[in-house]
Chain A
Amino acid sequence: MLKQLLTNEYVIPLFLGVAFGIINRIYLLRTDYRQYPTYPHGQLIHISLGVIAAGLGAVAVPSFLKEDYTAITFLSLAAQQFRDVRNMERNTLTEIDQMELVPRGKSYIEGIAMVFEGRNYLVIFSSFLTTFATVLFTWKGGIIVGIVTLIVSHLLKSGKTLEHIVDVIPGHVRLEGVNLYVDDIYIMNVGSTAAQDIIAEKGVGYVLIPKNDNAKVTIAHPGQRQAILHDASTILGVYTDQGEPSLTPLVKRDLKTGRLGVFLLPYDKDITKGAKVIEGSTIIESSIRMPQEAKVNQAKGRET
């Protein structure tokens, strides 16, 4: 039986392709402080989908080589399938978000959903390339290409973090009567004296200074700001509860300079740790703006 199976010329290529696809998916499935995808069932779902993606990528090669071009059309089916993954993730996260003390915000959710879809395509590519390489250069070539795809996945895995575009500086939280400021940036009006006392005791502030004009527009995006609050509240804790709207971490923008004032209510009041957390928050893909790339902002196009 095994001998019969091995006489099929595509068994080893398919096996290697699927194997590297699955390894890729597992490698890309990191559950970090976000605890998303959730363990164990969230991960199980994504590993299963990864297996399907790996299989699809791998079997595309024999269909090509046997000139069975109609069989290739199932790849379009795969695209449809993985677009649904994005929908599924978006729906789940939107539902969960309503129950968060500090929500992720729609942009963050969209970013996560996009990553899940994209990673399945990465798995398809890596399986396809590994299988193809095995057919061309035997199993040794297959393993080399498989490892190369893993390295590419590693490079594509993480996006940039805020420290690339802003300087995070600890700010001074102060209350002037009912008005709350971080340094000179106005945050909100706190009318309740009970809340004022808690804010004076627990509040921590940071000022985010954009490094260039692109950064200024990017961090102004409300989705990006909500993501900063969510990340910081997840890692440092948040001194609030349901029915405590006065105790809400908030980010406000200084309109004159484009700086951001970040007001947090962490359990962990370590200032340097907090700054690191903000520097480490991801830049939301959909919030990135590049006004400096526009023709009117290019040096040579500028009329002086």
Chain B
Amino acid sequence: MKEISAIITTRREDVSGGTPVFVAKDEQEMQDIAFLLEKILDGMVHEIAPRILVIVRHK
């Protein structure tokens, strides 16, 4: 089953829930964290809203 394994955002107030949330200072840091987490978790980065990225494992 597909699952959101992490959320990376600069919009702290807009996300919550049981998934790990990584708060970034700016968009560059958000992309850097997403890049690393993509490799670590082997999940794909999707942008579901401006400045909210999620990592989803598809396989």
Contacts and interface: CB of A to CB of B under 8 A. Distances in A.
A193 B33 CA distance: 12
Interface stretch (A18-26, A60-68, A226-234, A239-247): A239-247
B45 A195 contact: yes
Contacts of A177: 47
Among A193, A195, A244, find the residue whose CB has the most chain B CB atoms closer than 10 A. A193
Contacts of A235: none
B39 A246 contact: no
B31 interface: yes
B58 A192 contact: no
Interface residues of B, number: 18
Contacts of A246: 38, 44-45
A189 B42 contact: no
Tier of interface size on chain A? 10 to 19
A25 to B, nearest CB: 37
B58 A245 contact: yes
A243 B35 CA distance: 11
Given A243-B42, A246-B45, A191 B58 contact: no
A243 B45 CA distance: 12
Interface in A175-208: 177-178, 189-195
The binding surface of chain B is classed by DSSP as mixed
Contacts of A244: 38-39
B42 A242 contact: yes
Interface string B16-59: 00000000000000010011001110111111100001100111
B38 A192 contact: yes
B46 A193 contact: no
Contacts of A242: 42
A195 B43 CA distance: 13
A192 B31 contact: yes
Contacts of A189: 46-48
A202 to B, nearest CB: 17
B34 A191 contact: yes
Given A192-B31, A193-B31, A245-B58, A178 B47 contact: yes
Nearest to A246: B44
22 contacts: A189-B47, A189-B48, A190-B44, A190-B45, A191-B34, A191-B44, A191-B47, A191-B54, A192-B31, A192-B38, A192-B45, A193-B31, A195-B45, A243-B39, A243-B40, A244-B38, A244-B39, A245-B38, A245-B43, A246-B44, A246-B45, A248-B44
